[in-house]
Chain A
Amino acid sequence: MHLLPLLLYAAAAAAYIAHFAWRDPRVGRLATGLLAGGVLAHTFLIGMQTVQAGHAPLVGTSAAISAFVWLLGLSYLYIELTSDERSMGAFVAVLLVGLDVISALDPAVSPRPPVLQSPLFTVHVMSLLFAYASFALACALGVTYGLLFKEIKAKQLGFFYARLPPLASLDLMNSRAITVGWTFLTIGVLVGAIWAWQVKGSPDPRVQAMSLADPKILVALVSWGIYSFAVFARKAAGWSGRRAAYLSSIAFAVVLLNFVLVGYFLTASHNF
């Protein structure tokens, strides 16, 4: 059962890529259907895990990645249905599959340690996951902006020129995704800080490790810095277009690094 969403995501990714290449509207609808099916199956999976464990499966990196994949799929579907623009699906669905493979490798739901009972913990995790989902979309938008920009600039109008929406639309959507993501990132970090301060006296060694020197916290703050720059540089210094596109791709690479690599191997404070 826990592999069903992954299989549907993989099928959706294949269909999105096929649709991107051939532009057959039927394949496009099939892709959307498969992705919607994947998100639905994923919703059931998360629901079942919640019932079984008695709490939302947000503890542990695998569970967090799974929840992130679910949120990203949901957000992307919302954007696709409201904008009627499917070309980003190929990029997003591949990301979904890649991340869901990681979480599927270790599908067990971890028990929730008492220190995480606070509602602040749920707000912290959900805000950050939603922020990351926005950043993932911004990254996909940034990458496609870069590809299209290159073709137009080099006067080689080809594959992407025929398939992607205008640069201005990509830039606008990128700007929105970054702003939404930055807002939730700020909330998530602040709530995390408040929660860490509340449980400061806890004997749990992981709580003891909550400091700016911990890689997870440090990199989170670094990515907050980068995204703050992205938001304000656009407003103040006209960092739009290609610069914003590159920035959103690089920043998401940092986020991903923190989320997966640091989350699994390096952090002493966030390895619940």
Chain B
Amino acid sequence: MRLFAVGLSHRTAPVELRESVDFSRKGLEHALAELSARGAGRELVVLSTCNRAEIYVVGDTDETEQVGRFFSDYHAISHDSVSQHLYVHRGSDVARHLFRVAAGLDSLVVGEPQILGQVKAAYAVASDGQFTAAITNRLFHSAFSVGKRVRSETGLGEGAVSVSYAAIALAKKIFGELKGRSVLILGAGEMAKLTGIHLHAQQVKQITIASRTLTTAQGLAARLDGAAVPWEQVDHALSAADIVVTATGASEPVLTRARVDDVMRHRRNRPLFIIDIAVPRDVDPAVGQVDQVFLYNIDDLRTIVQENLARRGAELARAEAIVDAEVAKYTAWMQSREIVPTVVALRQRFEAIRRAELERLEPKLSGLPPEARARVDEITRLIVEKLLLTPTEQLKSVSDEAMIVAYADALNRLFSLAQDRDRGEISSEEESGVSS
């Protein structure tokens, strides 16, 4: 039973390569089926995001080479271009890697929250296709709980680390869910578009775009499922909006204090969140003093991002400690799975020999009084116990995955232990779908 993972990520591969090995393009099910058909292993999970492509395998033999080739074969690209970017993890290193990935520790933006969902989705696809079993079930469920623990017990995932997310996080702190809210975007340039896309993803009720030239506004409106209004109707749109994004190229402030004061009178005190991402600024700083108006410009948002990044750095050690603890737990479980059948088989083997010998000596022993026979039985049992004591302790203290396998193999061979025993146990566990 071997657990390994082969993959590449933003740490090892450039973006062009990551794009060309995207397994999700044709559907993860397809990749899983293909892998399975090649006999890569009996448990498979494929994780494919824009920052990483990884294949987790549990097999009888170490097929890292074959799985590595699959990256190039499946996407019909040359293996040389991929191979140098691939990394391989085995045994408990797989757990450590996956746990760090799920916790966002291995992400481009450390602590970003999407990755946990992506790991869950990857597992769900594999699980639905019945490519997972006891080992991957346990591995991924442990990874989910690491991700959850890191999120709830550390501040690693807290605080937005991009300007757009910082703006959205602020909007959510003011309005709660953004679903029923209206957005007005002034300007139709690149920055306006980017922020608009992020707000659109929040399923806001209405996006209105106003620009000096109506046609550019209409272009962006089409992209964001929004409506374009002529520049002259901005005041009206301002009274209706909850969130205003200003990103025009104007050299003078577009929103002055007097104009916003006037708008607020029509709004009956409803809060207004103004995000000024234009340089030079589109909104007079005095607007921030109006009651129920929250004004943030690009520098304010950048400051928030800087603070959040610094704070995340401080939380890293706590997150790594959680990963360490969970890896230890997982390793102990793996170990007990791997070594326990061997220990049991070894003891059964010794016990069988002892009984066989006692039986063989039965004619000689039959003359002894019952107490003496009991003593013989006792003494032979103690000898076997003593002989097995040290090996058992040694076996249980092995923590290295490869060593466990080596020990198990050696013992199986040296004592010709029943191989089918632990096979049988594992497959019965697979059938019952043990996942805890």
Does A55 sit at the interface, judged by CB under 8 A?
no
CB distance from A187 to the nearest CB of B (A): 29
- B129 at the binding interface (Cβ < 8 Å): no
- Contact partner of B269 (CB less than 8 A), chosen from A166, A169, A240, is A240
Query: A152 touching B304 by the CB < 8 A rule?
Result: no
In the bound assembly, the distance between CA atoms of A169 and B271 in angstroms comes to 13
Mask: chain A, 234-245; 1 = CB below 8 Å from B; 0 = not:
000111111100
Most buried by B among A162, A166, A168, A240: A168
**A239 to B173, Cβ gap below 8 A?**
no
- CB pair B170–A152 under 8 Å, yes or no, is yes
Contact B292 A242 (CB under 8 A): yes
- Residue A84 is within 8 A (CB to CB) of chain B in the complex: no
Across the interface, do A166 and B175 meet the contact criterion of CB distance under 8 Å? yes
Q: Is the CB of B268 within 8 A of A237?
A: yes
Q: Does B213 contact A (CB under 8 A)?
A: no
Known A152-B294, A155-B300, A241-B292: A166·B271 in contact at CB below 8 Å: no
List of A residues within 8 angstroms of B153 by Cβ = 24
Docked Cα-Cα span, A166 to B268, in Å, equals 20
A186–B396 alpha-carbon span in the complex (Å): 73
Residues of A contacting B269 in the complex (Cβ-Cβ under 8 angstroms): 237-241, 243
* Residues on the B chain within 8 Å of A165, using CB: 176
Known: A157-B304, A239-B269, A241-B271. A166 touches B174 (CB 8 A): yes
The answer to whether B268 and A152 have CB atoms under 8 Å apart is no
Output the nearest chain A residue to B172 by Cβ-Cβ distance: A166
Asked if residues B176 and A169 are in contact (CB atoms below 8 Å), the reply is yes
Contact of B268 among A24, A161, A238 (CB under 8 A): A238
Is there a chain A Cβ closer than 8 Å to B427's Cβ? Answer: no
Q: How many A-B residue pairs have CB under 8 A?
A: 51
Instruction: Tell me how many residues of B have a C-beta within 8 Å of chain A.
Output: 25
* Chain A interface mostly: helix
Q: Is A148 an interface residue (CB 8 A)?
A: yes
Min CB–CB distance B299 → chain A (angstroms): 10
Whole-angstrom distance between the Cβ of B115 and the nearest chain A Cβ = 22
Of chain B, the residue at the smallest CB distance from A22 is: B153
Any chain A CB within 8 A of the CB of B348? no
Q: Say yes or no for B326: interface residue by CB 8 A criterion.
A: no
Indicate if A47 sits at the interface (CB-CB under 8 A): no
Whether B158 pairs with A162 at a CB distance below 8 angstroms is yes
A167/B173 in contact, CB under 8 A: yes
Query: A25's contact among B152, B176, B291, by CB below 8 Å, is which?
Result: B152
Among A8-42, those with CB < 8 Å from B are 23-25
Chain A, Cβ-Cβ closest to B170: A152
Query: B278-310 interface mask toward A, CB cutoff 8 Å, 1 = contact, 0 = none?
Result: 000000000010011010100010011001000
How many residues on chain A are close to B (CB under 8 Å)? 22
Min C-beta distance of A199 to chain B, whole Å:
45
Q: Please, which residues of chain A bring their CB within 8 A of the CB of B152?
A: 23, 25
Closest residue of chain B to A26 (Cβ to Cβ) is B153
| Closest CB in chain A relative to B436 CB, distance in Å | 21
| Complex alpha-carbon distance, A24 and B152, angstroms | 8
Check A153 against B175 for contact (C-beta < 8 Å): no
Residues of A contacting B307 in the complex (Cβ-Cβ under 8 angstroms): 157
Contacts of A239 in B (CB 8 A): 269
B175 and A155 within 8 A (CB):
no
Interface check B347, CB cutoff 8 A? no
Checking A152, A238, A240 against B174 with a beta-carbon cut-off of 8 angstroms, the contacting residue is: A152
Q: For A242, what are the chain B residues with a Cβ–Cβ distance below 8 Å?
A: 291-292
Q: Is the CB of A238 within 8 A of B291?
A: no
Q: How far is the CB of A247 from chain B (nearest CB, A)?
A: 13
Question: Is B257 on the interface with A (CB-CB < 8 A)?
Answer: no
- The answer to whether A168 and B300 touch across the interface, beta carbons within 8 angstroms, is no
Q: Report chain A residues within 8 Å CB of B294.
A: 152-153
Q: B-facing mask of A144-179, CB < 8 A → 1, else 0? A: 000010001101010001100111110000000000
Tell me which of A23, A155, A166, A237 contacts B173 (CB under 8 A). A166
Q: Does B120 count as interface, using CB distance less than 8 angstroms?
A: no
Is B381 located at the chain interface by the 8 A CB criterion?
Answer: no
Contact with A along B102-117 (1 / 0, CB 8 A): 0000000000000000
Residues of B within 8 A of A161 (CB): 173
Please, which residues of chain A bring their CB within 8 A of the CB of B158? 162
In the complex formed, the residue of B with least CB distance to A152 is: B294
Closest to B268 in A: A238
Q: Is B270 in contact with chain A by the CB < 8 A criterion? A: yes
Contact in complex: B174, A168 (CB < 8 Å): yes
A136 to chain B, nearest CB (A): 23
Cα A162 to Cα B288 in complex, Å, equals 22
Which residues from B are CB-within-8-Å of A237? 268-269
Give the shortest distance, in Å, between A241 (CB) and chain B (any CB).
6
Q: B315 to chain A: closest CB distance in Å?
A: 12
CA distance A16 to B316 in the complex (A): 26
Residue of B nearest to A25 (CB): B152
CA separation between A166 and B269, bound complex, in Å?
A: 17
Contacts of B304 in A (CB 8 A): 157
Q: With the chains together, A162 CA to B154 CA distance in Å? A: 13
In the complex, which residue of chain B has the Cβ closest to the Cβ of A151?
A: B173
Distance in angstroms from A43 CB to nearest chain B CB is: 32
B128-158, CB under 8 A of A: which get 1 and which 0? 0000000000000000000000001101001
CA distance A162 to B172 in the complex (A): 12
Contact B268 A167 (CB under 8 A): no
Known: A152-B173, A157-B307; 7 extra A-B contacts, CB below 8 A, are: A152-B174, A161-B173, A166-B173, A168-B176, A238-B270, A240-B269, A242-B291
Interface residues of B (CB under 8 A from A): 152-153, 155, 158-159, 170, 172-176, 267-271, 288, 291-292, 294, 296, 300, 303-304, 307
Residue pairs across A and B with Cβ atoms less than 8 A apart, 15 shown, are A25-B152, A152-B173, A152-B174, A152-B294, A162-B155, A162-B158, A166-B172, A166-B174, A167-B175, A168-B174, A238-B270, A241-B269, A241-B271, A241-B292, A242-B291
User: Which residue numbers of A lie inside 8 Å of B, CB to CB?
Assistant: 23-25, 148, 152-153, 155, 157, 161-162, 165-169, 237-243
